[in-house]
Amino acid sequence: MSPDSPNPSPTDAQPQTLGTRFRNLSITLVAITLSVAIFLGLRTDLTSTSLPELAETATPIEVALENGKPTLMEFYANWCTSCQAMAEDMAQLRQQYGDQVNFVMLNVDNSKWLPEVLEYRVDGIPHFVFLNRQATAIAQTIGEIPQQIMAANLDALIAGSPLPHAMITGKTSTFEIDAKPAQEQQVNPRSHSSQ
């Protein structure tokens, strides 16, 4: 072939083939890696604990106030990102301490719990109230609390000792309460904002 010939020589075609093969191999490896990551990410989401599931299996407040066990009462909302972030930790704590401590969940969006919201001055969620065996509030924490700190508080609650991490505040979602009777309200009684 002449140098002006449009057909490439076999030696010119080989580097293009190696370059093409390397590019295709790279694309394939990236696609496989992303597929595995997405698959594992979806599996993790499917096995995570949801707030409605935790609430459904929580101890009813009436039972908790009467059974003589210490209680961890959580005020939450399904829209609360901080509450959602703690759901898996709370499920693990419930599994570990559930036979010794009542785990009560009260949804702040349910007006049924307005008396408790007002009594415990809930203005950020998640809001945790620790009740001793006599159902008396002895401490509160607000916001995202690390699992180890919650576990230390539960250990102290069970032992009847002062809580080592009482009155701490982590990341919260805020809401406002309008305690006017329903006839006087012009809008929804709570204004929500999540972080």
Mean pLDDT of 17-30: 84
Q: What is the pLDDT of residues 108-166, one digit of tens each?
A: 999 999 999 999 999 899 999 999 999 999 999 999 999 999 999 999 999 999 998 87
The two structure tokens encoding residue 13: 């075609």
* 21 — pLDDT class (breaks 50, 70, 90): confident
Q: Is 83 a catalytic residue?
A: yes
pLDDT at 115: 94
Q: Which residues contact 39 (CB under 8 A, 6 or more apart)?
A: none
Catalytic site includes residue 11 = no
- pLDDT class for 182, splitting at 50, 70, 90? very low
Q: Catalytic: which of 51, 77, 83, 101?
A: 83
CA-to-CA distance for 80 and 192, rounded, in angstroms?
9
Find the catalytic residue in 51, 54, 77, 80: 80
What pTM was computed for the model? 0.65
